Amino acid sequence: MRVRWITLLSLIVLGATAHGETTYVQFSLEKAIGIAMSRSPRIRSLDARLQEVQADRGVARSGFLPKVGVATGLEKNPAYGEQSERLTYGYASWNVFKGFADRRATQLASFEVSKAELELESEKFALALEVEARFFKILGALRSFNEWNEAADLNRSALKDVRLRRGAGMASEGDYVAFEVRQSRIDSDLADAKLALDIEKATFNRLLGHEVGQGIKFSGKIPRFELGESGEAIIATAHEKSFALKAAAIDVAKYDVETAKWLSGALPTIDLEARNGWLPLGERTASIASKNTPSTYLVMTAKMDLFSGLSTVNERRAAIARKTQSDEQLREASAELLSVVEQHVRKLLLMEKRLRAEAENVKKTTKYKEATSREYRAGVKTGLDYAAAIDMAIESRRRYVDSLLTWHDERFGLEKAIGRRVSVKEISGEEK
């Protein structure tokens, strides 16, 4: 199911209003996916490939149609006289029967069209998942950066407080130094968090284009989901829309046709040709051979190769071998798909249990930090106790966010494998 609840992005419209203020417009995830698709070289290439094979199919279908044309020229044949004869006639030729070669060529061309359509659809689906996954990773990196900013502000406030306490003899030199050392570590972690956020944004910009991505202000909360359908149902229906299985099945059908294609070389071909007008002298009837008079010429020919160097036999052997390979590849793809889907489902269910535990831990560590802060100000806890409580709260939130992103990564991997979005249900109120 397509996500519609995300608050998504705000796009800064570069340029000022009449009052010199910067304007903003809402920029949805759906729009971001559309932009990514419109500028993807891979999708444009696959779209061009689809047009190419569609044209090739049109060429194959043209074998069923007659060829019609006109010819003109001069002929001089001493056997019919010294004077040059004018040639002007229309002609039509039609392959009446070609051993089903045109039919099978059209079938094979249609398989190539189906594969190109499937590959294009698969790439679009995968790109949509990548844009959404990258958006979530940016929200995760942004949250980490904001939390380290918050920790730095808290530590600076505590550092001022412990300085005053030390001057009043209420805190030790060790407490003061500990907060100074901690400030240096937090500044380092903050720099790392900023770098991670910039890298995620740069990756997102690669999908949308630098000129668009640079103007986006990211906001929102990573959604908390659980599977809305059973793992057994997902595994049971995994083969229905899988792009990999569909591609393998097309190959099986394609090689079925190629296995029968060899027969065309063993069957006769029948051609019909008609000409009307001022024909070449050799094609005129005997009564008008020496006269410049319009006439009609009809010919039907049947040809059959009695020996072609065993080419049809070897073509059949090669087609049977390719058919066997495609059958085995389909079985392998089916087994691999079920294994991959089962792994994703098991990990998702396990991560859901872990997320529930970590969400509870976030609540508890947040309460502990708030209680320690009050006790520290009351002189019951030391500065080191307070710093440890802050670190514990930050670490619990980091673990929750990492697990949440891992759950979404598994979901995206599952959806990519089965070729469809899975049903999910939103969980709210777990973590603040």
Q: Is the pLDDT of residue 432 over 60?
A: no
Domain presence at residue 362: yes
Give the count of domains, the chain.
1
- The mean pLDDT of 298-323, rounded to a whole number, is 74
- Closest residue by Cα to residue 24 from 210, 198, 168, 219: 219
- Closest residue by Cα to residue 116 from 259, 247, 275: 247
Highest mean pLDDT among 18-22, 194-198, 281-285, 386-390: 194-198
Domain presence at residue 82: no
Domain presence at residue 171: yes
Sign of the CA dihedral with 378 first, then 384, 387, and 389 last: negative
- 314 — phi, psi (to 5°)? -70, -35
104-137 pLDDT, tens digit each: 888 889 999 999 999 999 999 999 999 999 999 9
- The mean pLDDT of 36-48, rounded to a whole number, is 93
Q: Is the pLDDT of residue 4 over 70?
A: no
Residue 180 domain boundaries: 9-39+98-268+304-426
189-225 burial: b if 16+ Cβ within 10 Å, else e: bbeebeebbeebbeebbebbeeebbebbebebebbbb
Domain presence at residue 170: yes
Domain presence at residue 285: no
For residue 259, give the CATH number of its domain: 1.20.1600.10
Distance CA 384, CA 381 (A): 8
The DSSP element (H or E) to which 27 belongs, if any, is: strand 22-27
- Confidence grade of residue 84 (pLDDT, cut at 50, 70, 90): low
Domain presence at residue 48: no
Domain presence at residue 2: no
Domain presence at residue 288: no
